[in-house]
Amino acid sequence: MPSRVVIHLDLDAFFVAVERLDDPTLIGVPVIVGGRAESRGVVSSASYEARKFGVHSAMPTAQALRLCPQAVLIPGHRGRYAEMSRKVMAILGDYTPLLEPISIDEAFLDVTGTEAQYGPPAELAKTIQDRIEQELSLSASLGVAANKLVAKIASDFRKPHGITVVPPGEEAAFLAPLLIRRLWGVGAVTAQQLARLGVETIGDLAAFSQDELRGRFGVQGEGLWRAARGIDHTPVTPEHEAKSLSREETFAQDVRDPVLLRRELLRLSEAVAFRLRRHHLQARTIHLKLRYGDFSTITRQATLPDPTDTGPVIYARALALFDAAWDRRRPVRLIGVGGGNLEQPGRQMRLFEQASTRQTQLDVALDRIRERFGEDAIQRASLLEEPEELWVPKGVPEG
């Protein structure tokens, strides 16, 4: 059976690149996109000029400016980033329907079987890279491999504006010399645990047997064993074909303020509802995900009496799950909301029965604005006071 061909695309310093499109005087100078230093802001994105001084995503802005005092600090423009992201995804969609965006600046493409139409995978990757540069003036790095795990690591191998191809069968050899933190899913806590075992590289991890890793790490050990060998059977799943739709955010600083956490729950619930309506789906199950500062993670779910695609309904159930699950002594690193058990809306008449309701009219109006200007183009008033320094794009560190 022929190997799959998966491409992972990662836009290079995306927020900075968009800012430079709008202000060419920023080209060639150190640029930081992030919150204000005096309000404990953090870096969302840094230009490669700034990175030479040690600046990186999720770093406190005050520290970044100490390392690179000549940097230009920009607060960021989420709506503009969303607009450019949609244009990138539209280009990717020209080459395969199997497109899975995983954040505003990253996506997987399954291009298996497209060689007759677009040439070898390396040529297709170059074609995509060139189109994004020529049509949008953005730089992208791409990884090509037989699975998502290796393709994602490969896309980071020759940044910026690089293409790395890992031929089928060479996954383990490609991964072996890389530091263990390069392995997708290995965070600081797991890396520390592995360091105590003498594991510094992915190859060091691959030297352990599956039984050894399972004995030390339980179910996670089996995943580590497979990942170290470049084994990953996860499919590229277009959003509209997913069994669930979810949104999650990682905080730059662990948060224990219940007001801020509930505000983020509301934002995520609205985003999930928007995606459900966009794909003409409703969710019967609501999911909550919490990750604490020590990286321990809990999930909860609840089933609704009727499926929904409405933000307030999703938020009410997610909030109830949150209030019951959150250990208030522990600060939160990540929070997520999802909708599962997806189904098409019920009787067509249901839409007309609801058409006169204030909520439905509001949803329709908001969706039109978001479709045109991006998911963050309009928000409920209760969300407008969120400190920008708490927000970090999914997938930090940003490419």
237 part of a folded domain: no
d(C-alpha 209, C-alpha 225), whole Å: 7
Residues 150, 262 share a domain: no
Short-list 99, 95, 80, CA closest to 17:
80
Spatial CB neighbours of 164, under 8 Å, sequence gap ≥ 6: 142, 143, 144, 154, 155, 157, 158
Residues 128, 2 share a domain: yes
CB count in 10 Å sphere of residue 185: 10
Residues 224, 341 share a domain: no
49 part of a folded domain: yes
Percent of the chain with pLDDT over 70: 84
Rounded to two decimals, what is the model's pTM?
A: 0.69
Residues 344, 221 share a domain: no
Residues 361, 300 share a domain: yes
70 part of a folded domain: yes
What are the start-end ranges of the E strands in the chain? 6-11, 31-34, 43-46, 72-74, 99-103, 106-110, 140-145, 163-165, 244-255, 282-292, 297-308, 332-343, 391-392
106 is catalytic: yes
d(C-alpha 32, C-alpha 55), whole Å: 8
pLDDT in tens, 176-230: 999 998 887 677 778 888 999 999 999 999 999 999 998 888 878 888 999 999 9
Domain boundary among 134, 168, 202: 168
Which tops the pLDDT comparison, 129 or 308? 129
CB count in 10 Å sphere of residue 383: 14
Residues 140, 78 share a domain: yes
Instruction: Print the domain residue range for 195.
Output: 172-228
Rg of the Cα atoms in the chain: 22
Short-list 394, 302, 387, 338, CA closest to 34:
387
Catalytic position from the list 106, 171, 264, 375? 106
Residue 109's domain is classified under what CATH number? 3.30.70.270
Domain boundary among 149, 168, 187: 168
- Bridge-partner residues for 342, per DSSP? 283
Percent of the chain with pLDDT over 90: 58
Predicted confidence at residue 371, as pLDDT, reads: 53
Domain boundary among 136, 168, 200: 168
Residues 185, 272 share a domain: no
d(C-alpha 355, C-alpha 360), whole Å: 6
d(C-alpha 381, C-alpha 359), whole Å: 16
State the average pLDDT over residues 321-338: 93
Distances from the Cα of 91 to the Cα of 80, 94, 115, 314, 318, angstroms: 17, 5, 18, 32, 35
**Token digits of residue 154:** 């490969």
Which tops the pLDDT comparison, 287 or 279? 287
Residues 157, 75 share a domain: yes
Residue 197's domain is classified under what CATH number? 1.10.150.20
Residue 321's domain is classified under what CATH number? 3.30.1490.100
d(C-alpha 152, C-alpha 174), whole Å: 13
Residues 156, 24 share a domain: yes
Does 347 score more than 80 pLDDT? no
**Residues 302 and 286: beta-carbon distance below 8 Å:** yes
Which tops the pLDDT comparison, 297 or 278? 297
Predicted confidence at residue 355, as pLDDT, reads: 39
**Token digits of residue 139:** 């730089």
66 part of a folded domain: yes
Task: Kindly report the backbone phi and psi dihedral angles of residue 58, in degrees, each rounded to the nearest multiple of 5, phi listed first.
Answer: 75, 0
Predicted confidence at residue 363, as pLDDT, reads: 60
235 part of a folded domain: no
399 part of a folded domain: no
pLDDT in tens, 99-143: 998 888 999 999 999 999 999 999 999 999 999 999 999 999 999
pLDDT band, very low/low/confident/very high, at 350 (cuts 50, 70, 90): very low
C-alpha atoms less than 13 angstroms from C-alpha of 176 in its C-beta half-sphere: 9
Distances from the Cα of 275 to the Cα of 73, 105, 307, 324, 342, angstroms: 32, 18, 14, 26, 12
Predicted confidence at residue 201, as pLDDT, reads: 95
Residues 207, 179 share a domain: yes
Residues 142, 283 share a domain: no
pLDDT band, very low/low/confident/very high, at 146 (cuts 50, 70, 90): very high
Domain count, the chain: 3
Distances from the Cα of 175 to the Cα of 50, 164, 304, angstroms: 28, 13, 44
CB count in 10 Å sphere of residue 178: 15
Residues 179, 139 share a domain: no
